[in-house]
Amino acid sequence: MHIEQAKPKKTSSVLSYDGIEIPYRVYGDASKTVLLIHGWCCD
């Protein structure tokens, strides 16, 4: 079985309040958004 990886519709970045670049990718165009944040509760 071959599974294709989805290609993002948009790839960009924003700056946090302290100047750190936060890259992001947008997939799909549905009316609902799912935001996945890797490692957000680690020490």
11 within some domain: yes
Q: Which long-range contacts (CB under 8 A, 24 or more apart) does 13-17 make?
A: none
Selected residue with higher pLDDT from 43 and 23:
23
10, 12, 13: which is closest to 29 by C-alpha?
10
* pLDDT given at position 42: 65
Q: What is this structure's pTM?
A: 0.61
DSSP 8-state class, residue 39: T
10 within some domain: yes
Q: pLDDT digit string (tens) for 7-33? A: 889 999 999 899 999 999 988 888 888
Number of domains into which the chain is organized: 1
Q: Residue 21: which domain range?
A: 1-38
